[in-house]
Amino acid sequence: MARKPVARKPKARKPEARGRGPAPGRFVETAVEVEGRTETRIVEIPASEPAPWTDAAPLAVVGARVPRVDAEEKVTGRARYTADIARPGMLHAVFRRAPIPRGRIRTLDLAPARAVPGVYDVLGPGDAPEKTRLFSREIFYAEQPVAAVCADTRAAAIRAAHAIVVEYDPAPFAVTFEQAVAPDAPKVRAKGNLYPGSPIVESRGDLDAGLRAADVVIRREYRTPVALHSALEPHGAVAEWEGDRLTVWESTQGIFRVREHVAKALGVPMSKVRVIKEQMGGGFGAKNGAGAHTYAAALFARRTGRPVRCVNDREAEQTDSGNRPATTQRVTLGAKRDGTLTAIHLVADVPLGISGWEGGPGQFYHEMYACPNVRTEETFAYVNTSGMQAFRGPGYTEGAFGLESAMNALARELHMDPIALRVKNFAERDPRKNRPYTGNRLLECYEEGARRFGWKTVNREPSTVNRKRRGVGLASQVWPTGGGPPAYALVRINSDATVEVLTGTQDLGTGARTVLAQIAAEALGAKLEHVRMIIGDTQSLPYTGNSWGSMTTASVGPAVRMAAEDARHQLVEAAATMLAATPDALEVRDSRLIVRDTDRTMTFAEVTGQLGDVMIIGKGSRGPNPPDVAIMTFGAQFAEVEVDVETGIVRVLRIVAVHDAGRIINPLLAESQLEGGILQGLGYALFEERVLDRTLGRQLNANLHDYKIPTMADVPVIEAFFVPGADPRANHTGARGLAEPPIIPTAPAIAAAVADAIGAEVSEIPLTPWRVLEALARG
């Protein structure tokens, strides 16, 4: 049969490159943005990367609304979480924690704990390697671990932890920003109460000139609370030593980072530490490395020779497992009569807790609008409370509440439609670093959102007669979602034609397993049900980074695609021989190879059956990011609320969300991500707030009854959409990240709707009945 010469796109990999070491010049610097921080990495350029999947690419599996590949395990109870890991002979570890926020241990008697039946070991001050930072005699925050016990049952360990006798010499403490920065403030920690470099100032243009040029200047002060991640599966680890090798099962967003932390803290080689994570009950940013529980489990396991489990109880999870820090944001906006922003000024105070990083609200102020004169001054202070951790959209979520609330106030001041104000100040380029975007459809998000919400048609006349008043509002969002290297994947085709994707990433419940399987199936031409994801094990899988910063799809997806394309090319070469065709004449789809324009075809199983134990293994890696571009996800959310002006209770009736995240690999799962982010944003707006007793420095709501997260009864009508369109300039899958963006604009959109409903602004979240009534009283 005649074979037509068909022009095809170049092969994904030059055959001559196979099996050789990197050629000179194959390593380059690339910039990777992680949650607003830019890191420079030296990475290998893949020998050849696949051509980008543009909108015109004929994709069948990518973009399909298919169920989660691990859904069946989850609905049958078969899914195994770290908290489910039970090893033969396993012991249970429990911490004793300090009840005071600052001071020193005066006396500590561990003997009563050792006497409790079932107790195997006790650890106190001086018993843990210094790098674990465990069991210091000096107390820096309430609930700091001072000792730990391991026993054959959890109940015995709890009894023994209670039996430890500790006396403290309390010392003056600071648990608020104001206390920490006061002239006579107590020393929060050994070295200074301010985060190094505070206030951190970032500036573009000339703020004073911008304010002088303004026709209208508004000044506001906004406050956001400490919010708690509240993952339903607490932080936890199970550790087991075999000789000098340590295995850790950990509920984590980063198996390789846990490995690094454990190896460093315990002084063992990284190659001796294996970290495993199968399923995980949520992370939201708080599970990005090893923690006290990990170190305690590993130390006890080494000392006792037994596997040891250490899982937080709910109180520990709500007090000492990370939080989103509070902010006070003093915002000044200057604008022309037509809404053109001339100046944005932020002065922010952020109490970090006893540790943390400078992921503050300021970045959002620099990135959201095309204002020429922007200045942010952020002061980060350490305080005697448990340290912060990244929490979904860290910094940007807080910053959006400040800036977007101020923009809505400005719109009211200018008697301008808040959408028109935003469109007026739309950034054509990344205004922070003056570089082009790979893609930005924010204007379409406004337009589409307004249309679906009925922005112009909703009755916006505030009622003064009804007890229940309705209002509407909106807010926007930006978030860096480019992802980047390093990330690696292998794709192997087994002799039974099943496909396994091996990559050292993790699925937090986001759906990474599913979207990566879809990418592999698409690139390989395999049926999705034949593809199995093998992830979450540092020992057997190639490296990928943490699942943070909405990075996994954009980082690991291209590596998986490349590995699958590599495997496909090898399979095609093998099948070409069997089908007496040239590789170029073969098409691959639905786990079948077809000689184009003929009826000659073979299934994967027929090819692998003939190959026998000859195995096809494809390799892929994530190439560098394109230079000097901004890779961002955008969106706008619209809220409609009903406020009971007698009780102050706010009920959210409806949220319409439209985001631009490039190609959506799986619309069903992406929609779930949007809904989940919106509901966490709704909790942040209405209920969630860590409450401290400021005289004792201790938390008052360390449980899920008093720290209120949304329930099904709180759920409004949510309509969540993406504007369609791939972003082939971001990476060759055309997908950007989307997990964190949806939480960012929800709270300011709801707050704007409340202001619209009651005719008064509530400048502090959560929008509790008390605060709403206060705002009403002020008028």
Partner 1 sequence: MRLTVNGRPHEIETAPAASLFEVLRARLLLAGTKIACGRGECGVCTVLLDGEPVYSCLTLAAACDGAAVTTVEGLAPPGALAPLQRAFIAHDAAQCGYCTPGQLIAAHALLAANPRPADDEIREAMSGNLCRCGTYPKILAAIRAVAHGEFAGLGSAGGA
State the Cα–Cα distance between residues 540 and 613, nearest whole angstrom.
Answer: 20
710 binding partner 1? (CB under 8 A): yes
277-285, 329-337, 469-477, 747-755 -> range binding partner 1 (CB under 8 A): 277-285
Among 413, 529, 646, 693, binds partner 1 (CB under 8 A): 529
Selecting among 688, 740, 761, 764, the annotated active-site residue is: 740
678 binding partner 1? (CB under 8 A): yes
Instruction: Tell me phi and psi for residue 2, to 5 degrees.
Output: -70, 140
70-78, 110-118, 465-473, 723-731 -> range binding partner 1 (CB under 8 A): 70-78
Amino acid identity at 291: G
Cis, peptide link before residue 199, omega less than 30° from 0? yes
Q: Are strands 632-644 and 616-621 parallel, antiparallel or unpaired?
A: unpaired
State the binding string over 475-514 for partner 1 (x if CB under 8 A, else -): ---------------------------------xxxx---
Q: Give which of 581, 603, 601, 572 is closest to 1, Cα–Cα.
A: 581
Given the structure tokens 């923009």, which residue do they identify?
Answer: 407
Instruction: For the CB of residue 79, give the shortest distance to partner 1 in the complex, in Å.
Output: 5
104-112, 135-143, 535-543, 674-682 -> range binding partner 1 (CB under 8 A): 674-682
79 binding partner 1? (CB under 8 A): yes
With a CB cutoff of 8 Å and minimum separation 6, the contacts of 400 are: 364, 368, 393, 475, 476, 477, 744, 745, 747, 748
Three-state helix/strand/coil letters over 389-458: CCCCCCCHHHHHHHHHHHHHHHHHHHCCCHHHHHHHCCCCCECCCCECECCCCHHHHHHHHHHHHCCCCC
Q: CA-based angle 757:762:767, to the nearest 5? A: 90
Q: Which two tokens stand for residue 218?
A: 């508004």
State the Cα–Cα distance between residues 184 and 172, nearest whole angstrom.
Answer: 11
711 binding partner 1? (CB under 8 A): yes
Say whether 167 is catalytic. Answer: no
The smaller minimum CB distance to partner 1, of residues 73 and 774, is found at: 73
Beta bridge partners of 616: 493
Among 8, 14, 26, 74, binds partner 1 (CB under 8 A): 74
715 binding partner 1? (CB under 8 A): yes
Among 135, 249, 284, 401, binds partner 1 (CB under 8 A): 284
State the Cα–Cα distance between residues 8 and 2, nearest whole angstrom.
Answer: 18
691 binding partner 1? (CB under 8 A): no
704 binding partner 1? (CB under 8 A): yes
Among 330, 675, 701, 774, binds partner 1 (CB under 8 A): 675
Among 352, 521, 559, 679, binds partner 1 (CB under 8 A): 679
89 binding partner 1? (CB under 8 A): no
Site size for partner 1, by CB under 8 A? Answer: 56
701 binding partner 1? (CB under 8 A): no
121 binding partner 1? (CB under 8 A): no
End-to-end CA distance of the chain: 84
The smaller minimum CB distance to partner 1, of residues 198 and 680, is found at: 680
With a CB cutoff of 8 Å and minimum separation 6, the contacts of 508 are: 253, 280, 282, 283, 284, 287, 547
321-329, 336-344, 378-386, 677-685 -> range binding partner 1 (CB under 8 A): 677-685
49-57, 123-131, 157-165, 225-233 -> range binding partner 1 (CB under 8 A): 225-233
Among 48, 610, 672, 701, binds partner 1 (CB under 8 A): 672
State the Cα–Cα distance between residues 495 and 503, nearest whole angstrom.
Answer: 20
36-44, 231-239, 406-414, 487-495 -> range binding partner 1 (CB under 8 A): 231-239
Helices (H) and strands (E) in the chain, counts: 18, 30
Cβ pair 567, 491 in contact under 8 A: yes
606 binding partner 1? (CB under 8 A): no
Cβ-in-10-Å burial (0-12, 13-18, 19+) of 337 comes to exposed
Active site residues: 740
Residues that bind partner 1 in the complex, under the rule CB under 8 A: 67-68, 70-81, 83-84, 86, 155, 229-234, 279-282, 284, 313-314, 508-511, 529, 668-669, 671-672, 675-680, 703-705, 709-713, 715, 718
